Structure 1
Amino acid sequence: MSTQSLITPLGDEVYEIDTQLAGHPGITAGYLIRSDRPCLVEPGTSGSAPTVRRALTELGIGPRDLATVVVTHIHLDHAGGVGDIARMYPQAEIVVHEKGARHLADPQRLMRSARMVYGDLLDTLFGELKPTEAARIRAVEETGVIDLGGGRRLQSHYSPGHAKHHIGLLDSLTGDLYVGDAAGVYIPETADVRPATPPPDFDLDTALASLEKFRALRPQRLLFAHYGPVEAVEDTLDRSAEELRIWVEAVRDARDQGLDLDHAVAAVQERTAGRYRAYGPDADPELAGKYEMLSGVRSNVAGIMHSLDKHA
């Protein structure tokens, strides 16, 4: 894929970059805000770092030009490339929620946990998160501000539910809201919205509260890491909340019947049959397959089961 085909201009010096998770196009997006103080949101995986560098070079951002790298949360499909990008762009400050900061400075515990989940597939999908100098990391709390220069700024808003270290980011100029995974996974080919509820942090009430927080910010557009820009803000946030409730209700019913994970997965699949065009009988199996790899039913159901067990 040529460098130019990785880049989609979105207006007002915002550029979507296809970060090519495990070589797959159209599944993970980073965003460059080419302002007076250029900012990269969501660098993607370690394996994505060379792709991101090529795109930034194409957009005129040299090694000493990038001012800030921001991650919505520290899951490896979003933040796995932070250490690599920090080395490539030595002037860039790294911004992350305070609950994730220590894992960027010392990723050993995070990588051990990830390897337990993914096994050998970890290297293919994500690669190794490399440490970032602690002095270059800025942790934000409930809110924070990233200076984009010229009076433009990103304001961070703590938005847990998907992960306890998750933030959303609102651009003061455009009204774009970078939603990370807090609003789930958006499939642009079919306009489907599916939940992203992996263990160990998922919590329904917290996730729904974060969606309401996003709504109250009155964004003009949602920018999904998976995948791309969405202008139907209210409808998409409504759908995101609806899907969360449906999945949790299906898993709760299965759990109340004493059913195991496999049966809970089957219950969700039955309850949601026909809800997603990407998974329908006439859908492209490759499209469904790549999103299943990213945010699979089994992983999401396991996260919901874990949450219900915690509250029991």
Structure 2
Amino acid sequence: MFVDPSIHTIDTAFQREDFDAAYLVVENGRAAFIDCGTGLAVPAMLAALTRAGLSPDAVDWLILTHVHLDHAGGAGLLMQQLPDARLLVHPRGAPHMVDPARLIAGATEVYGEAEIARSYGPVLPVAAERVVIAEDGHRVDLAGRSLLCLHTPGHARHHLCVWDERSRAWFTGDTFGLSYRELDSARGAFIVPTSSPVQFEPDALKQSIARMLAHAPQAMFLTHYGRVGDVAKLAADLVEQIDAMVEIGRQCDARPDRHRCLVAALTALYLERAQAHGCPLDDAAVTQVLAMDIELNAQGLACWLDRDRR
């Protein structure tokens, strides 16, 4: 498997190892970060620059796939350390980077105040003059290397993915799901969609996946976690599961114990698929790896069901 040496995977150490990645792309001595993790990840981001033989003034861009705090919470603090960088973000996400108050409030509603303080660190604003809006089809020129930003809703309406023609790979944020390395088997990577609150839209998500596939990618760089190949198979797996999750949502919607029903049904779905995939962990261990994502997917399905009903 060819791994492009100009792309550096950074473990942001959010929650646990090998869970939350950011990326450093280097071209002709210039650099772009794609996502940045939380405020607690800033030392890891700067250390990645050092390992690449670069200083902070070599960074031209911080590109955010979306502004959920595990991807973008550290943007304001990191930008303070990058004197020449600009921040590139979807039009819907830009206001939250300039004034993150609503972003913090929304995350606090989902995770709770104590968890925000423990896991996310400071969430600081970015000066408006340093923020660049990425409309659909926006191109970044990184020292002659073209990075194409396409809007990819489905997980979030303010989501974009970044196409790197040089490596023929996408930086996918959460649009191409979650794939944890401890669930890999002889069949390759195991993948799960993410419907976490609050803007899951199944049809839009499937359309976004199809849009990425149209570029015939050789690899995907996921936030959760790392590089995966065998893209066509994983895309088919995601679409099958999105449809199954929609059916689960419909079946559980009228239940008085809807959330418990959603959690149980999602757990059963993922365990069945993990067993068929030959995942090396037993059911209890697979459930432990996916526990937070199952909970968030259940919450996201509930948000979608309630919104769809309105």
After TM superposition, is the score higher than 0.5?
Answer: yes
Distance in structure 2 (CA, Å) of the matches to 1:250 and 1:307: 12
- Contact 2:12-2:37 at 8 Å conserved across structures: yes
Distance in structure 1 (CA, Å) of the matches to 2:247 and 2:120: 32
The CA deviation string for residues 249-290 of structure 1, in whole angstroms up to 9 with x for no partner, is 112111145652122222322344321259979439677535
Tell me the matched-pair count: 300
Bigger mean CA deviation after superposition, 240-249 or 156-165? 240-249
Distance in structure 2 (CA, Å) of the matches to 1:255 and 1:48: 38
Alignment partner, residue 60 of structure 1:
53
Quickly say closer, same or farther: Cα 1:279–1:133, change in 2 above 3 A. Answer: farther
Matched, 1:78 2:71: yes
Alignment partner, residue 19 of structure 2:
27
Within-5 A mapping of 1:157-168: 157-168=150-161
Matched, 1:69 2:62: yes
Distance in structure 2 (CA, Å) of the matches to 1:290 and 1:64: 38
Distance in structure 1 (CA, Å) of the matches to 2:226 and 2:24: 13
Quickly say closer, same or farther: Cα 1:125–1:290, change in 2 above 3 A. Answer: farther
Structure 2 unaligned blocks of 5 or more: none
Matched, 1:133 2:127: yes
Counterpart amino acid of 1:144? H
Matched, 1:154 2:147: yes
Distance in structure 2 (CA, Å) of the matches to 1:182 and 1:41: 14
- Contact 1:10-1:16 at 8 Å conserved across structures: no
Of the three residues 227, 241, 244, the one matched with 2:242 is 244
The alignment's C-alpha RMSD in Å is 2.1
The CA deviation string for residues 194-237 of structure 1, in whole angstroms up to 9 with x for no partner, is 12101211011111111111111211211111111112110111
- Contact 1:279-1:285 at 8 Å conserved across structures: no
- Contact 1:77-1:126 at 8 Å conserved across structures: yes
- Contact 1:14-1:34 at 8 Å conserved across structures: yes
Within-5 A mapping of 1:167-206: 167-189=160-182, 190=184, 191-206=189-204
Distance in structure 1 (CA, Å) of the matches to 2:50 and 2:205: 37
SS, match of residue 193 in structure 1? coil
TM-score, reference length from structure 2: 0.90
Alignment partner, residue 37 of structure 2:
44
SS, match of residue 99 in structure 1? coil
TM-score, reference length from structure 1: 0.90
Quickly say closer, same or farther: Cα 1:271–1:285, change in 2 above 3 A. Answer: closer
Alignment partner, residue 298 of structure 2:
301
The CA deviation string for residues 106-126 of structure 1, in whole angstroms up to 9 with x for no partner, is 001110121122120112222
